[in-house]
Structure 1
Amino acid sequence: MVRPNEPTWCGRLPLSEWDQIGTITHVPTIYFYRSPQTLNISTISNTLKDSLSRALVPFYPLAGRLHWIENGRLELQCNAIGAQFIEAESSSTLEEVGDLSLSSEYLYHLSPNVDYTLPIHELPLVIVQLTTFKCGGFGLSLAISHAVADGQSALHFINEWSRFARGETLEMVPFLDRKVLRAGEPPLAPPLPAACHSRSEFEHPPLLLGQSTNMEQRKKKTTVAIFKLSKQQVDGLRNLANLSWGNPSNGRGYTRYETVAGHVWRCACKAREHKVEQPTCLGVCVDSRCRMKPPLPKGYFGNATLDVVATSLSGDLVSRPLGYASSRIREAIEKVNDEYIKSEIEFLKNQKDLSRFQDLHAISSDKGPFYGNPNMGVVSWLTLPVNGLDFGWGKEVQMYPGTHEFDGDSVLLPGLDGDGSIVLAICLQVDHMAAFKKLFYQEDQINHANYVNV
């Protein structure tokens, strides 16, 4: 257990409503590095542990533990117990894993194993696994509790940790007071007027027509694949979207995310062979930091992302051009404004129990949220600093977003070389992946030269 190397504030820290809903389990990432010629693994391990202990001083909430309070709500107890650091060895070589040709089982062993049968107050919020390969290369996997940090906050911490490892100082102080999102405060009296929108993000996603539950779809065997789109291919898809559906709202062209996520959604509907009247939704994660008035303070550390859903009929998605799918996604994103955000916070504050909004279950459970067939979830890491993590021995040769075993679970990443390319990591049912691959590269200006099966 790695603890802060200086005394830190101790006490109970209220969590915001956004911290306590959705995924409150750990989110893994894995970075692969070649063997540094001048450093041995013992030196690397000591550097990581020493710099981690220093990073946990400004980011002291990550050294604490979660505690249940009443009504399915959580508090963060800052107690400096620390982050867990695991060292492991593998008989494989870096070359065998560097192209991402990994099974989900392989990735499982390279990532920290979190035992969710334990009481939540016994689980570290940060777990690090350093795995040495027989060639001398190594993998660095991090699992960070989503109840404490969203993607932007987690990467803020990881990148500051790497700066400490390089002997540098803190670049941006984390803003730790979650009261800017009214953490720990009671509902307003009188309450805010209800925003003019449906709360579809809190409802169950559509089921396949003719089915009363999603249990049959949950049991289907899944597989993971990695797809790469070059900058030219991404630009081609954006042109296709913008030219095929009139003028996008706000007078600006569709973003990379709106375009590629729309393309993924359409291809999934086709590969799954939906009926034309099949309802389908796409889960979208929207960062609220700059959408509030005033914006959240720079360096806000916590959860500030909201899940919204884009909806359509599968028949409309596949029969209409790409720009239609992108327009449905944009419509979902654009509703997230200051009024919407505050109304959603108030809605959650007025819930007697938050349990029904939480995913408390580990990967592969048959409980918790399910955005599989006929739905999709496409998370964007395109604007996050996920690449170029240098702890003093050079940047990673490959980064992977950990295990993805739920049907419909996917993430968009920036290409490793910073050349404008996009990488899609996606999990689908085995029966649908071959068709998806063919469809994904079928559009004009798209080819299938960059495909890796996992």
Structure 2
Amino acid sequence: MEPVRFISTTNVQPKNRTDQITRIELTPCDVQCLLIGPIQKGLLFHKPTPGYEEDLNKKQSLNLIQHLKASFSLTLDIFYPLAGRLAITENDGDNTTSFSVDCNGAGAQFVHAAADGVTVAHILDPVFVPDDIVYSLFLMNGVPNYEGRSKPLLAVQVTELVDGIFIGLTMNHSIGDGTSFWNFFNTWSEISRTGAKPSKAIPIFGREYLDGIIDLPIRIPFFNEQIQEKFLLPTEPLQQRVFHFRKEKIAELKSKANAQMGTSNISSLQALMGHLWVSITRTRHLTSSSTDDQETKYLVIVGTRQRLQPPLSDHYLGNAVLFGWATSTAGDLIKRGLGWAALELNRMVASQTEQQVKKFLEDWFDKPRLLTRSAVVRSHSFVTGSSPRFDVYGNDFGWGKPVVVRSGSGNKFDGKLTVFAGAEEGSIDFEACLSPHTLRALAEDEEFMQSVAV
């Protein structure tokens, strides 16, 4: 394909923010993300009809790009810390570094681009995700989060295709998690569609929930010596495919998993993750020299907002997650099958209690540790982030709902299984990033593909 053509770049600042908070301290959940990459998710839309563009011009004397930029600025009035920069403080005397968000209104980046030869079908139709196209629709590829001291914490690239529009949003992961990311996206689309600021989307910036657990600011010893290892663009050959699971098939897997284990506790998502864990391990096992005693792990990023008492609001802007591992050997996992795998994931998620959250915060405060590639990316392991609860397909900017969601290059590696709500009610999509031979073997696995909507 021809390279994306950049038409304009604008530094967008909040217009009407109130300076109630000028600095926000980063928590352990925030700071641990400094060395990894940003969140990059984007939505593909069919191009608005000429009637929509004419109506927009009559009402507001704006074209589509100007309208999106104006509504983006209004959204920053609400989420004004995202227009700031990371503040990095070198503490005197103890060789430690502290981190906060300076809510200085420096601005977020808005880029208008065009992919002249790319159609909606070029993104939708291929069996494998066309990474060369999709990755070019996002900004700040390969930029680790700690560079937010000089680079924007939020950047959007609006790319005009031949017959569509792709809105690719990039958010510094030290500032927020998936819940924060989609709260911004949802609010922006609502403002764009309605022209008014929503009354129920006011984000919460305070860190009061940490009172009595740990003190801020966090002090990281020898930070500058740790930035050598970070999550950059993947170097190994990888391919991606989105597997779509319909509501009925998910219900079958859930029923089967619970019946096998004599329980009713396994959720739909846990059954689906167990199915993927067993199926991919089986295909890896058959296509490599793996032995039965090869360890395989599944890391699930678990939200903690509802695990705290009182619960932390979904509108809290920041990271509120724990990392839970389920572990087995390849041989045992394949032999025990779906029910056992799903129940192990269920038990791991259930173990992430309020007490576990507090223990993580206290332990981390005493011995800080940053996420690195070697700490997360392990042979024969899997990681699932995002959530089917996030409102992806409700993001109507004024000319219709998105066709599909895609993610950028940030934090991709062999075994990354990103989950999204499907376009159909009750359906779920998994974006599987795997080695090419594993992904091909998975597509030839009849047992697995029987569960996939083709």
- TM-score relative to the length of structure 1: 0.83
| SS, match of residue 340 in structure 1 | helix
Residue aligned with 2:157, SS: strand
State the partner residue of 2:430: 424
Displacement of 1:185 after TM fit?
A: 5.0
1:95 is the counterpart of 2:121: yes
For these two proteins, the number of residue pairs brought into alignment is 403
Output the amino acid matched with 2:269. Answer: Y
If each structure's helix is expressed as a fraction of its own residues, which one has the higher value?
Answer: 2
Q: CA deviation at 1:227?
A: 1.0
Query: Which residue of 2 is the match for residue 122 of structure 1?
Result: 150
Look up the match of 2:133: 106
Residue in 2 aligned with 1:51? Answer: 71
- 5 Å-filtered alignment, 1:324-363, equals 324-351=340-367, 354=368, 356-359=369-372
Kept in 2, the 8 Å contact 1:14–1:183? The answer is no
Task: Name the residue aligned to 2:381.
Answer: 375
Counterpart amino acid of residue 393 in structure 1? W
Q: CA, structure 1 residues 103+95, in 2 after alignment: closer, same or farther (shift >3 Å)?
A: closer
Contact 1:176–1:301 at 8 Å: present in 2 too? yes
Distance, in Å, in 1 between the alignment partners of 2:202 and 2:148 is: 28
In the TM superposition, what is the alpha-carbon distance from 1:219 to its structure 2 partner?
5.8
Question: Identity over the aligned pairs, expressed in percent?
Answer: 28
1:83 to 108, 116, 135: 108
CA shift, 1:22, in A, is 3.6
SS in 1 for 2:396: coil
Q: Secondary structure at the match of 1:13?
A: strand
1: CA distance, partners of 2:157 / 2:301: 27
- The Cα offsets for residues 90-148 of structure 1, whole Å up to 9 and x where unpaired, read as 1212222233654212111111134638943111111000101123x211100111111
Distance 1:36 1:220, change over 3 A: closer
Q: Does 1:235 align with 2:245?
A: no
Partners of 1:154 and 1:83 in 2: how far apart? 14
- Which residue of 2 is the match for residue 293 of structure 1? 309
Q: Structure 2 unaligned runs (5+)?
A: 1-10, 57-61, 91-95, 217-233
- Structure-2 residue corresponding to 1:155: 182
Is 1:133 the counterpart of 2:146? The answer is: no
Identify if the C-alpha distance between structure 1 residues 281 and 183 changes in structure 2 by more than 3 Å, giving closer, same or farther.
farther
Name the residue aligned to 1:196. none
Contact 1:281/1:310, CA 8 A, preserved across alignment: yes
Mapping for residues 10-409 of structure 1, pairs under 5 Å:
11-22=22-33, 24-37=36-49, 38-40=51-53, 43-70=63-90, 71-91=96-116, 92-99=118-125, 102-114=129-141, 116=143, 119-135=147-163, 137-166=164-193, 167-170=195-198, 171-182=200-211, 185-186=214-215, 220-247=236-263, 252-273=264-285, 274-351=290-367, 354=368, 356-359=369-372, 367=373, 369-403=375-409, 405-409=412-416
> By how many angstroms is 1:182 displaced?
4.4
RMSD: 2.5
| Correspondence for 1:442 | 447
SS at match of 1:358: coil
What is the Cα deviation at residue 371 of structure 1? Answer: 2.7
Match of 1:4 in 2: 14
Instruction: Letter of the 1:152 partner, please give it.
Output: T
CA deviations over 1:342-398 (Å, ceiling 9, x no partner): 1110111112xx4x4234xxxxxxx55443531111224211112221111111122
Say whether the 8 Å CA contact 1:20–1:358 is kept in structure 2: no
What displacement does 1:446 show? Answer: 2.5
Q: How far apart, in 2, do the equivalents of 1:370 and 1:36 lie? A: 41
- Unpaired segments ≥5 residues, structure 1: 188-217, 360-366
8 Å CA contact retained: 1:87, 1:131: yes
Q: Which amino acid aligns with 2:450?
A: I
Partner Cα separation in structure 1 for residue 270 and residue 392 of structure 2: 20
Tell me the CA shift for residue 239 of structure 1: 1.6
Q: Is the 8 A contact 2:139 2:157 kept in 1?
A: yes
Q: Give the TM-score normalised by the residue count of structure 2.
A: 0.83
